[in-house]
Amino acid sequence: MAPTLQGEWIKVQQKGGEGPGARSSHGIAVVGDKLYSFGGERTPNISIDKHLYVFDFNTHTWSIAPANGQAPNVKALGTRMVAVGTKLYLFGGRDEKKQFDDFYSYDTVTKEWKFLTKLDEEGGPEARTYHSMASDENHVYVFGGVSKGGVMKTPFRFRTIEAYNIADGKWAQLPDPGEQYPTFERRGGAGFIVVQGKIWVVYGFATSPDPNGKTIMSLILCTTLILLLKSGPKWRLKERNLLQEACLRMRQ
């Protein structure tokens, strides 16, 4: 029998300041003793603002970070954000007019935004929403998401992982698991995390083809668990209880 984890949920007291308020489809990340929040929606499909909100774990107060430098120009919903060291990395999202955001970093020490990559151009990642992001000390990873249908005309959703090398500022796309396993669904909203050199993709929502030739755009839970190992060029698929596990070994 698997061990049961014990813990207790605590409602965090917010003691003032200018905070983001209730919202969804935003990006959050933690650097040191501060939590950062960007983008989101309160009314469905209506983006809210372009502020980067900061919650101080010590004082339990909110503030708005200075927007110096090359700040994002889109009020984005369906965006995602991760932290590497003292920097935040913000990827994608869109506003209610279907204007899509690009790829930026924010230095929490100098308080400056920096534009990194224009999305939806040949040779780089496509613009998207409701994707997943993760990071390690050297890379930022983006998985899945809902397509803009832009220059590459990707249908509906993605199923690949894009890897951004922080040192050289270049993107690389990892092998597509769907080429080896056609039943691996394109998806958005997946759980996505890097743990001890392994990238995990858990569930998400997918697009299912209708037998009558139509496309069902409802949310279908994916039942595939992906394990990405950083050695070797091939995916492996193994049954494990009711979940499936695929493993991609990447060259170091």
Q: Name the residue among 36, 20, 18 with its Cα closest to residue 107.
A: 36
Annotated catalytic, 249?
Answer: no
- Give the integer Cα–Cα distance in Å for 136 and 144: 18
> Strand runs (DSSP E) across 144-190, as ranges?
146-147, 161-165, 170-173, 187-188
Contact in structure between 204 and 144 (CB atoms under 8 Å): yes
* Token representation of residue 24: 């969804």
Annotated catalytic, 94?
Answer: yes
Q: Name the residue among 22, 20, 21, 39 with its Cα closest to residue 130.
A: 39
- Catalytic residue among 128, 157, 159, 186, which? 157
Q: Name the residue among 167, 134, 138, 157 with its Cα closest to residue 218.
A: 157
- Catalytic residue among 94, 128, 159, 187, which? 94
Task: Write out the catalytic residue numbers.
Answer: 94, 157
